[in-house]
Amino acid sequence: MRQLFSRFLADQSGATAIEYCLIAAGISIVIVTAVNGIGSALNTKFTSVNSSLK
């Protein structure tokens, strides 16, 4: 039982998957924030163009 527990503590294969997941989550948060900001700016620009065309 002690050997099984020590092998479990030494195994780091799951840590790599968790690290990749955290990196992907961070990148997705940055992308969503950037797209949201650009979307707001584009919406303002299109509203301005729409009102000037009327």
**What is the spatial distance between Cα 54 and Cα 45, in angstroms, rounded to a whole number?**
15
Q: What is the CA radius of gyration of the chain?
A: 24
**What is the spatial distance between Cα 9 and Cα 1, in angstroms, rounded to a whole number?**
13
What residues make up the domain containing 42?
Answer: 1-53
Could you read off the pLDDT of 13-46 as tens digits, one per residue? 777 888 899 999 999 999 999 999 898 889 999 9
Residue 5, pLDDT score: 78
Q: Which helix (H) or strand (E) segment is 19 a member of?
A: helix 13-53
**What is the spatial distance between Cα 38 and Cα 32, in angstroms, rounded to a whole number?**
10
Domain count of the chain?
A: 1
Predicted structure pTM score = 0.57
Residue 38, pLDDT score: 93
Residue 27, pLDDT score: 98
- What's 9's DSSP letter? H
